[in-house]
Amino acid sequence: MSAVLSPPAATLHELSAAAIERTARPVFELQSANLAFGALQALREVTLTIAPGESVALVGANGSGKSTLLRVLHGLLRPTAGSCVADAGLRQAMLFQRPFMLRTSAQNNVALALWLRGTPWREARALALAAIERVGLQHQAGQSARTLSGGQQQRLALARAWALRPEVLLLDEPTASLDPHAKREVEQLMAEFAAGTAGRPMTVVFASHNLGQVKRLATRVIYLEFGQVLADLPVQEFFDAVRLQSVSPSAAMFVKGELA
């Protein structure tokens, strides 16, 4: 029987140090990030850091900058001033409010995403089926993705993202326009994905108007208004009326439904 050799102590130490460094490294770090579309200032002096394993909710009125900030984090938009640094060693996936569905089966919609990442087609099809089963759509695998209900399409989009094995998941209003049952299904998947695997939680950043959803899923809440971050608090403090009032009166009004 051949012996299994353990790595030398120095190698183990180096691996341990690398793991600690990765854990300590921010997933995203923004410094005075601004983004303008012509005369429209979409983000204003945004400075924040997101650590591994956080579940961060972005809240605010329409036009406050939530979707823009998500696109900056994902690298789809670049700040016109300031900086956004992402950990390039982490795999990211983003789910849009209205996910695009190709004119093919649900299974192929997931398999194509894997194939474009370099996975051989036969393997991609098998992995796609496993991902579809993960979100409870195995009976719709051969159905045209565009004929699925809104909730099913959102679950399929989550399957497509999950199949890529991301360590960072960005979601833009993931349950908007869904009925209560579909919202519960998508929320459950979000919670399961955020929990991660092997004790390693996924980093999740999501925009939402649903404050109940924010309470259920977030560990931290960032409130934006006209592209500025006016409150950035742990979820318990954000929903503490006295604490939030002391940080941002307009955020407190928003939570009470009094801010236009």
Q: CA-CA distance, 209 to 212, in Å (whole number)?
A: 9
* Contact criterion met (CB below 8 Å) for 163 and 110: yes
3 state DSSP class of 201 = coil
Q: How does pLDDT run across 191-241, given as a tens digit for each residue? A: 988 887 666 789 999 999 999 999 999 999 999 999 999 999 999 999 999
Q: Take residue 170 and report the two structure tokens written for it.
A: 């960005």
Q: CA-CA distance, 92 to 212, in Å (whole number)?
A: 26
Average pLDDT over residues 71-77: 96
pLDDT of residue 5: 40
Average pLDDT over residues 122-143: 93
Q: Closest Cα to residue 107, out of 174, 164, 156, 169?
A: 156
Q: Is the pLDDT of residue 69 over 50?
A: yes
Instruction: Name the residue with higher pLDDT: 251 or 97.
Output: 251
pLDDT of residue 200: 78
pLDDT of residue 171: 94
Thinking of the domain 26-90+202-260, which architecture would CATH place it in?
3-Layer(aba) Sandwich (3.40)
Tokens 């919202």 belong to residue = 183
What is the per-residue burial (b if ≥16 Cβ within 10 Å, else e) of 36-73? eeeeebbbbebebebebbbbbbbbbbeebbbbbbbbbb
Instruction: Name the residue with higher pLDDT: 116 or 182.
Output: 116
pLDDT of residue 194: 87
Q: What is the dihedral of CA 42, 47, 82, 93, to 10 degrees?
A: -70
* Contact criterion met (CB below 8 Å) for 223 and 216: no
Average pLDDT over residues 173-190: 86
Q: Take residue 27 and report the two structure tokens written for it.
A: 């997933």
Q: How does pLDDT run across 36-61, given as a tens digit for each residue? A: 999 999 999 999 999 999 999 999 99
pLDDT of residue 9: 44
pLDDT of residue 64: 94
pLDDT of residue 41: 94
- Please state, rounded to an integer, the average pLDDT across all residues of the chain: 88
Q: How does pLDDT run across 88-128, given as a tens digit for each residue? A: 889 999 988 888 899 999 999 999 999 998 999 999 999 99
Q: Is the pLDDT of residue 13 over 90?
A: no
Q: CA-CA distance, 71 to 37, in Å (whole number)?
A: 14
Least reliable range by pLDDT among 7-16, 58-67, 144-153, 188-197: 7-16
Q: Take residue 249 and report the two structure tokens written for it.
A: 């009166």
Q: CA-CA distance, 106 to 145, in Å (whole number)?
A: 5
Q: Is the pLDDT of residue 25 over 90?
A: no
Average pLDDT over residues 60-72: 95
Q: Identify any residues that bridge with 210 across adjacent strands, giving them in sequence order.
A: none
Q: Is the pLDDT of residue 82 over 90?
A: yes
Side by side, the strands of the sheet bearing 81-86 are: 40-50, 28-37, 81-86
Phi, psi for 71 (deg, rounded to 5): -70, -35
pLDDT of residue 8: 44
Q: Is 101 exposed, middle or buried (0-12, 13-18, 19+ CB in 10 A)?
A: middle
